[in-house]
Structures are given as C-alpha cells and as structure tokens.
Amino acid sequence: MTAVTVSAPAKVNLRLAVGPPRPDGYHDLVNVFHAVSLFDEVTVTAAGRTTIRIDGPGADAVPTDGRNLAAMAAERLARRLGVPGGAAIRIRKRIPVAGGMAGGSADAAAALLACAELWGAGLSRAELMPIAAELGSDVPFSLLGGTAVGAGRGELLTPAQVNGGYHWVFALAHGGLSTPAVYAECDRLREEAGHRPGPPAHDDKLMAALREGDAAAVGTRLANDLQDAALSLRPELAGVLAAGRERAALGALVSGSGPTCAFLAESPEHADDIAAGLRASAACRGTVTARGPVPGAAVVPGPG
Ligand code: C5P
C-alpha cells in the first residue's frame, strides 16, 4: 500500500461538566461528545522520516514539526511497531483550528488509523484506543465517533444510545482559544466566586432526550461548564450566542473550549436560517452547517 487517506469528524460537546483540577493538572469530566459532519482528511505515505504538510483555512496556525498531534501519532505508532522511518502526512483542514471542535484530535486519530493501515499493523480500533488516549483526551472519541459519554479526562468512553439526526450551525470565530488557558480561566472564575465544584455529574434528562430523538429537549439540556471561561476571555461571544437565539435555535452554546459557537436547529432549513442570521449580525467570521451523529475516523476508499 503506497498511500492511505482517512477522514475524521469534528465534535461538539452536548454536555461538558468539569470537576475540580486534579493533581496531574487535568480535570475529571462528564463529556457528552457528538461527532458532526465536518471532516479533516489526512493522507499518509511511507517516508524516511515524518513530515507534515497542511492545507486549508487556518493551516498557518498549526505547527508542522514534532508538536503536531498527527506527527506524534505517526511517530508513536512507528516506535510501537518497530517501523523504520516515518510517514509523509498531508492534512486537508476543514475543522476550525483551535476552535473547540477537536480538529487537532481528529487529525491525530486520522493519522493513527492511516499509519496503522499503511504499515499493515493489524491493530483493531480497540487496540488503537490506548495510543489515542496518550496523544490527547479527545483523540479516542475522534476514532470512535457517534455520540458517547467521556469520563476521566474524557478518554474513558461509553457509546450513547441516540435516535434521529441533529442539525447544527457553527459560528466560526476570528482566531482560536488555547484549551489549557480556558480550563485555567474556569478554575480562576470558580475560585473568585468561592465555588468549590463537586465531581462532574451526568444529566439523565439529556440522555433520555437523545434516546427519544427529541431535538427540542436536547436543545434545552445543552450545557458547557467552560462557557463562562470562554466568554470571560472572548466577551464578544455573548453577541454570537444571542444572534443564534434570536433565530429560535433549540439550544446555543460555546463548543468545548471555544471560540466556535454551536446552535441546534429543528431542520436543515432552520439551520440555514440561523446561519443567515449569524452572518447578517456580523458577529462571526462565517458559518458552517453540519449534521450529527456521524461515525469516527474512517479510511477513504480509493487510491489515497
Ligand atoms: O488532553 P489534551 O492534551 O487535549 O489536553 C489539553 C489541555 O487541556 C491539558 O493540558 C489541560 O490543561 C486541559 N484539560 C484539562 N482536563 C481535561 C482535558 C484537558 O484540564 N479533562
């Protein structure tokens, strides 16, 4: 095999409940991940050493050296398999960079799966999961896809039962937000308010609404403990959320650590209407519509 292409989806968090900081610097989460139809594509070919090339919006802001998560994925797997050399990795980016939609994690999951295929590793998706978890808290979900509840730092996944499809609008922001900075701001705001959070809690009503395919009920249960922190660092996001709510979005929230904002719609037409309202308000850089849930990272058939 000379080249393998894998696509991997973006995610939105339907619920992101954040506990207190742990001694290792992470936070325990109840993280309801939902994969949406916005994909990065990663192509790998055998090479003497690992290299990265990135095309697409925001590509300039992504490191192309050993700090790139996709490069780390290839290197880690090569070491594990005893493969000499590395992989030439080409990433076509569509997921907003540093946008709170797990774009970097999607690229890492895609590179891991693509390299496993390229090198004939014979590893199942389940066997790739621990390597994915070492790369980042959201990488296992990018492999799994669908809708799933992440515990621990987000890497301990339980697939959720979901009926129906969900229509989303994403408001793209100028620039990104650093995930560690948003978690740190969340801790700071809680400390300032004298709020000592308990362990992160599940939301049975959200899970029931997903099982019943009740989009309106899902919309009312969307929740993100990082939202106040993202708004504190980027106050203009309040106007973005308001613009989507004006078009009667079923729910509106900051996606993950932001700054992308996500809006749940009743139908594809409603999603287009919300997107038009967001663009007219000039509150954001642009919009993308997508549906969920969709499967996780998958090999794209054809000649790479
Ligand atoms: O796991 P990942 O490398 O994606 O995490 C990036 C950063 O986000 C961590 O270094 C940490 O600051 C923060 N984080 C956290 N708790 C989590 C996941 C991420 O504090 N459960």
- pLDDT for residue 177: 95
State the closest ligand 1 atom to the C-alpha of 135, by its place in the atom list counted from 1. 3
- pLDDT for residue 26: 98
User: Residue 145: CB within 6 Å of ligand 1?
Assistant: no
Find the 17 Cα to ligand 1 centroid distance in Å.
Answer: 14
- pLDDT for residue 302: 81
Whether pTM exceeds 0.95: yes
Residue from 26, 29, 131, 225 to probe ligand 1 pocket by mutation (most atoms less than 8 Å from CB): 26
- pLDDT for residue 160: 98
Check if 3-160 and 166-292 are the same fold: no
- pLDDT for residue 304: 44
Determine how β-strand 51-55 pairs with β-strand 86-92. parallel
Contact 182, 98 (CB under 8 A): no
d(CA 83, CA 118) in angstroms, rounded, equals 11
State the closest ligand 1 atom to the C-alpha of 105, by its place in the atom list counted from 1. 4
Question: Whose CA is closest to 112, among 148, 87, 85?
Answer: 87
User: Residue 26: CB within 6 Å of ligand 1?
Assistant: yes
d(CA 253, CA 99) in angstroms, rounded, equals 13
Q: Show pLDDT as tens, one digit a residue, over the chain (304 residues).
A: 699 999 999 999 999 999 999 999 999 999 999 999 999 999 999 999 999 999 999 899 999 998 999 999 999 999 999 999 999 999 999 999 999 999 999 999 999 999 999 999 999 999 999 999 999 999 999 999 999 999 999 999 999 999 999 999 999 999 899 999 999 999 999 999 999 999 999 999 999 999 999 999 999 999 999 999 999 999 999 999 999 999 999 999 999 999 999 999 999 999 999 999 999 998 899 999 999 999 999 999 985 4
Active site residue 93: no
Q: Which CATH number fits domain 3-160: 3.40.50.970, 2.30.30.90, 3.30.390.30, 3.30.230.10?
A: 3.30.230.10
Phi first, then psi: give them for residue 31, nearest 5 degrees.
-120, 105
Phi first, then psi: give them for residue 250, nearest 5 degrees.
-70, -25
> Which residues face 215 on adjacent strands?
none
Contact 130, 106 (CB under 8 A): no
d(CA 112, CA 81) in angstroms, rounded, equals 12
d(CA 257, CA 285) in angstroms, rounded, equals 18
For 277, left (φ over 0), alpha (ψ -120 to 50), or beta? alpha
User: Residue 136: CB within 6 Å of ligand 1?
Assistant: yes
Superfamily for 166-292?
GHMP kinase, C-terminal domain (3.30.70.890)
Q: Where are the domains of the chain?
A: 3-160, 166-292
Residues ≥6 apart with Cβ < 8 Å to 48: 85, 86
Note if the bond before 159 is cis, omega within 30 degrees. Answer: no
Tokens 């790998």 identify what position?
A: 44
User: Residue 186: CB within 6 Å of ligand 1?
Assistant: no
Binding site for ATP: which residues?
A: 96-106
> Which residues face 16 on adjacent strands?
31, 224
Contact 6, 107 (CB under 8 A): no
Active site residue 11: yes
d(CA 290, CA 262) in angstroms, rounded, equals 10
**Dihedral sign computed on CA atoms, order 27, 72, 41, 115:** negative
- pLDDT for residue 282: 87
**Dihedral sign computed on CA atoms, order 270, 272, 277, 278:** positive
d(CA 123, CA 135) in angstroms, rounded, equals 17
Contact 72, 135 (CB under 8 A): yes
DSSP characters for 102-135? -HHHHHHHHHHHHHHHHTT----HHHHHHHHHHH
- pLDDT for residue 30: 98
Chain centroid, CA 279 distance in Å = 23
d(CA 217, CA 208) in angstroms, rounded, equals 9
